Amino acid sequence: MYRHFVPSQYVHTVFDITPESLLKKGIKGIITDLDNTLVEWDRPEATPRLIEWLAAMKQAGIQVVIVSNNKEMRVKSFADPLGIPFIFQARKPMGRAFRKALAIMEVKRDKVVVIGDQMLTDIFGGNLNKLHTILVLPVAQSDGFFTRFNRLVERRIMRRLKKKGQIMWEEEN
């Protein structure tokens, strides 16, 4: 049961993920969460550094699709100025949004990574769909209401996985 919550890889931020490292693995697509993965959950637009990161991915031929459980207005107002396709109210960890993102990119699942900050939605959903998953630390220390509940559950899962030796990753405060 717990194995579905174990990411394939851990990094501190999306900026630790380079186009070169993805291309070495044959990766051609990224399914990424938005809130607290790319930017703080309450930041309305991309930072200059994130814009550069996205441009580097595009230049390397790596497609990006944002898959978020948030509402259309939030995701659309963030993604449209960047020209990035998106799926809102994704209902992660359910598989429909992941399959839709794969269809948008027209890339096989073994050539795609899922990047997210939550084990219960991003990592669990990516693993259930047999995708390479990358867990990042949350960009912000604060969360929305439902995410705060998820974080409590995630801390319990993380403690259990560490105790079993299945996870070797320390969060920074």
**Cα(75)–Cα(4) distance, integer angstroms:** 27
In tens, the pLDDT along 83-113 reads 999 999 999 999 999 999 999 999 999 999 9
**Cβ burial, residue 118 (10 Å; 0-12/13-18/19+):** buried
The domain 2-163 having CATH identifier 3.30.420.10: the answer here is: no
pTM across the whole model:
0.85
Residue count of the chain: 173
pLDDT of residue 115: 98
